[in-house]
Amino acid sequence: MSRSADWWRDAVIYQIYPRSFMDSTGDGTGDLDGITARLNYVAELGADAIWVSPFVQSPMYDFGYDVSDFCAIEPMFGTMDGFRRMLERTHQLGMRLIMDQVWNHTSHLHPWFAESRSSRDNPRADWYVWADPAPDGGPPNNWRATFGGSAWTLDEPRGQYYLHNFLTQQPDLNWYNPDVRAAMLDIGRFWLDEGVDGFRLDVINFLGHDRSLADNPLRPANMHRPAGAEPKDPYFNTINSGNVCRAEALPWLSEIRAMLDEYPERMALGEISSAEDTLAAASDYVHGSDRLHSAYNAALISHEPFTRGGLTDVIERIETLFPDHRICWTFGTHDFPRLKSRWWNHGDSVIEHGHSLDRLLCLLLVTLPGSTCIYQGDELGLPQAQVAFDQMQDPFGIANYPLLLGRDGCRTPMPWNADAPGAGFSTTEETWLPIADAHRPLAVDRQEASPDSLLQFYRNAIRWRHESPALGCGRLRLLPTPDPVLAFERTHPDQPLWCAFNLADHSVTISSPEGFEQRAAEHLSPWAPKNGHITLPPYGSALLAPSR
């Protein structure tokens, strides 16, 4: 594994959801040894790093995002020795391992919370966010939990409400308490000492809260919802300024960064997706050298097909807010419906040209500046799985059914072998979530056997990204093109690149740049300029380099 202090700036990160990647034991649930067995696949894809969703001890009310022991492996996933084998194999293959850390809250079964709720004067009484009831005996204010209902639950023995921005089983830690912060930093050091290369910090913009406990204001009807927000989600009926993206939390990031800086070449990637202005908030979290290294960009997690105007606005803001490109682009994670399916209800043309659209999205992702994250299965073009109510596992989906269908549809097991029992994910057909029939024809073995498959396209595109000096950290300059074509130049003294994307379901002819020709990536984009013009088919992309 080559070493570079800033490897994370242009890394291709592959997200692994442990429950659904590979089952090595035949119990229907993925595990760490399963991940280790399939790491060759990730390396062949071209990933620089893997981000592994939580695998530490948890009662699994939220599938690992409710931690009961931050420094122990959850038995359903394996052992500490299994973790070390996974880490060693990751490094042998030249990749780095980014570990999910859930530092905003714990499980209600964590020993810290058991002690905190036991009285108002015990040593950890102030380790969580407690508040007296309102005069009517109800919650202290109108704050809502992201999973539905009030963000407050009454603990009758203590006679106070505790804050939980997510499930009632996920009480929020009180980051105003220095002992809490010290404990979390020690947890970070534990895993860095084990050799992990960085942390993905879950919902890091939820640290802190308005200590006055004032109500959150109602959202005006004409006010937009954040990128990726479900249009019908009642959580966004208010402007959640009292418990999200608090300015008081920014100095705590410096403490996290100082801890990471004790270890060479380590990094922190922040999940910041619920603020009113997501990009501005994410910029705050990575501004300067004493905060996080990079942040997720949720702007591409869209329920509407991309337009030239919309993407231009996002890119212009990114260039302004992130001049050093400390941003990670992604089309989705384990928390959002798969992108292709989010667009399918916008007409038959999207389905008709789905083959081309998949490839356009891949090329857009690998040509934008900064790092990029691919969620497992997106490289196969998996659509959102349809999970019946009696098969659902996600507490968010179950609690809000049928208004919101939850996250199960993007978490179903990886299809490795189209015709094998359990699709090659498991030796049993009774997997923790059902394997979608629509996923079997898209299985890895089928796509590896086809030179024209989307998987092979992703492999080629990522290889080309690694070989192109203008990509990753090169500058970006938007170019004036007519709607619906988005075009930009990735500048570099050795090999600048000209990239154009037709975001429509019909062909478009545009002017091509003087002195550029189709020699950048013929295997990815065969369309070449002719007589000063280039014609892009529906959802076609052009990638041009300077003429020799």
Could you give the angle at which helices 178-194 and 250-261 cross, rounded to 10 degrees?
A: 30
Q: Is the pLDDT of residue 163 over 70?
A: yes
Tell me, yes or no, whether 265 lies in a domain.
yes
Residue recorded with tokens 């609690």 = 399
- 375 and 505 in a single domain? The answer is no
**pLDDT over 90, % of the chain:** 80
Each residue's pLDDT tens digit, 32-79: 999 999 999 999 999 999 999 999 999 999 999 999 999 999 999 999
Confidence class for position 402, pLDDT limits 50, 70, 90: confident
Tell me, rounded to whole angstroms, the distance of Cα 169 from its chain centroid. 23
Q: Does pLDDT of 423 surpass 90? A: yes
Model confidence at 353, in pLDDT bands (50, 70, 90)? confident
Q: Is residue 320 part of a domain?
A: yes
Residues 420 and 497 in one domain: no
pLDDT on residue 351: 64
Asked if residue 126 is part of any domain, the answer here is no
Question: 443 with 541, same domain?
Answer: no
**Residue listed under structure tokens 């990522």:** 462
Check whether 2 has a pLDDT greater than 90: no
CATH for 487: 2.60.40.1180
Low-confidence winner among 1-10, 61-70, 292-301, 478-487 (lowest mean pLDDT): 1-10
Tell whether 38 and 57 lie within a shared domain. Answer: yes
| Per-residue pLDDT, 270 | 97
pLDDT of residue 229: 73
The separation between CA 18 and the C-alpha centre of its own chain, rounded to angstroms, equals: 14
Q: Is the pLDDT of residue 274 over 70?
A: no
Domain of 420: which CATH number? 3.20.20.80
Q: Which of 465, 491, 506 is the last residue of a domain?
A: 465
Are 14 and 43 within one domain? yes
Give the active site residues.
202, 262
Structure tokens at 350: 């999207």
- The H or E element containing residue 257 is helix 250-261
CA 314 vs CA 223, 281, 308: distances in Å? 18, 14, 10
Domain match, 287 and 422 both: yes
Q: How far apart are the first and last CA of the chain?
A: 34
323 and 415 in a single domain? The answer is yes
For residue 102, being part of any structural domain is answered with yes
**What single DSSP character describes residue 144?**
B
pLDDT band at 3 (very low <50, low <70, confident <90, very high): low
Q: Are residues 443 and 315 in the same domain?
A: yes
Task: State the residue range of the domain holding 491.
Answer: 474-546
Element (H, E) at 198: strand 198-201
Q: What is the DSSP string of 114-128?
A: HHHTT-SSSTTTTSB
The phi-psi region of residue 103 (left if phi > 0; otherwise alpha if psi is between -120 and 50; otherwise beta) is alpha
pLDDT at 63: 96
pLDDT class for 273, splitting at 50, 70, 90?
A: confident
Q: Is the pLDDT of residue 208 over 70?
A: yes
The helix or strand, by DSSP H or E, that contains position 13, with its residue range, turns out to be strand 12-16
Residue 268 CB neighbours (<10 A): 25
pLDDT in tens, 475-530: 899 999 999 999 999 998 888 999 999 999 999 999 999 988 887 677 898 888 99
Mean pLDDT calculated for residue range 10-28: 98
Residue 499 lies in a domain: yes
Mean pLDDT of 216-240: 84
User: In the structure encoding, which two tokens stand for residue 137, read together?
Assistant: 């005996």
What value does the mean pLDDT take over residues 242-267? 96
pLDDT at 299: 82
Residue 315 pLDDT exceeds 80: yes
Check residue 347 and give its pLDDT. Answer: 59
Calpha distance 3→226 (Å, rounded): 37
Query: What letters, b where the CB count within 10 A reaches 16 and e where it falls short, cover 438-456?
Result: ebbebbbebbeeeeebbbb
User: What CA–CA distances, in Å, run from 443 to 172, 219, 341, 382, 422?
Assistant: 40, 43, 18, 9, 11
Distance between CA 339 and CA 342 in Å, rounded? 5
Pair 305, 375 in one domain: yes
Q: What's the mean pLDDT when you consider all of the chain?
A: 93
Q: What strand order describes the sheet that includes 516-517? A: 475-478, 485-491, 497-502, 541-546, 516-517
Question: Would you say residue 444 lies in a domain?
Answer: yes
Whether 251 and 374 map to the same domain: the answer is yes
How sure is the predictor about 340, in pLDDT bands with cuts at 50, 70 and 90? confident
String of DSSP letters for 198-213? EEEETTGGGS---TT-
Averaged pLDDT for residues 193-222: 96
- Does residue 501 lie in a domain region? yes
**Domain-terminating residue out of 446, 465, 484:** 465
Lowest-confidence segment of 33-42, 132-141, 342-351, 425-434 by average pLDDT: 342-351
pLDDT at 344: 65
Q: Which two tokens stand for residue 421?
A: 């029992």
Q: Which residue has the tokens 């065969």?
A: 526
Whole-angstrom distance, CA of residue 366 vs CA of residue 471? 8
What are 71-105's pLDDT values in tens digits?
A: 999 999 999 999 999 999 999 999 999 999 999 99
Q: How many domains does the chain have?
A: 2
Q: Are residues 366 and 435 in the same domain?
A: yes
In a domain, 388, yes or no: yes
- Does 447 score more than 70 pLDDT? yes
Does 421 lie in the same domain as 278? yes
**Sign of the torsion formed by the C-alpha atoms of 44, 50, 53 and 55:** positive
* pLDDT number for residue 223: 84
Q: How far, in Å, CA of 519 to CA of 543, rounded? A: 8
DSSP code for 105: B
How confident is the model at residue 528, as a pLDDT? 86
| Tens digits of residue pLDDT in 403-415 | 888 899 999 999 9
Tell whether the model's pLDDT for residue 17 goes beyond 90.
yes
